[in-house]
Amino acid sequence: MNHKRIVAVGAVCALVVTPVAAVAQEQQGPPPAKTAKPVGSVKRVTKKSATLKVKYSCKTGSTLWISLKQTKSGKKNPALKKEGSSKTASAWLQSHRNKIKCDGQSHTKKFKVDKVEPGSKGKLVKGHAWLQFCVTEGETLTVSVAKWVRVK
């Protein structure tokens, strides 16, 4: 996936995290079955990477973008929920490289985030991080979950 598409998918995910379910329900009836729930805490593996176990399900989707943003202190800051907040975050680890399986079934998998992709920076510290877990099929967002997670 090229850098421009990575940025576009991340921007789409950031813009629709909150309203996507309401809009889908208004326009097409109930949204498709989809979930993503962190299991446990983010584990710092090295200064450049971390893992998070997530229980998820999706009917369609081929690309996962998972992102963790954090303040220098590791404290929750609502500013990290805003579009473009990766620029002001002290740490931003992400990945589009984790494989996912979208077959309507529930799966639990450990996902890795790191600083390989452009824009990633800093290191996670003990505290909290803002998680974005977005699954897309082409340009269509099929799963979008954003929430605070604990970092150990």
10-residue stretch averages of pLDDT, the chain, 152 residues long = 53 50 43 79 97 96 97 98 95 98 96 97 98 95 96 97
Per-residue pLDDT at 67 = 98
Prediction pTM value: 0.81
Question: What are the structural domain ranges in the chain?
Answer: 3-151
Q: Is 88 left (phi over 0), alpha (psi -120 to 50) or beta?
A: alpha
CATH 3.40.366.10 for domain 3-151: no
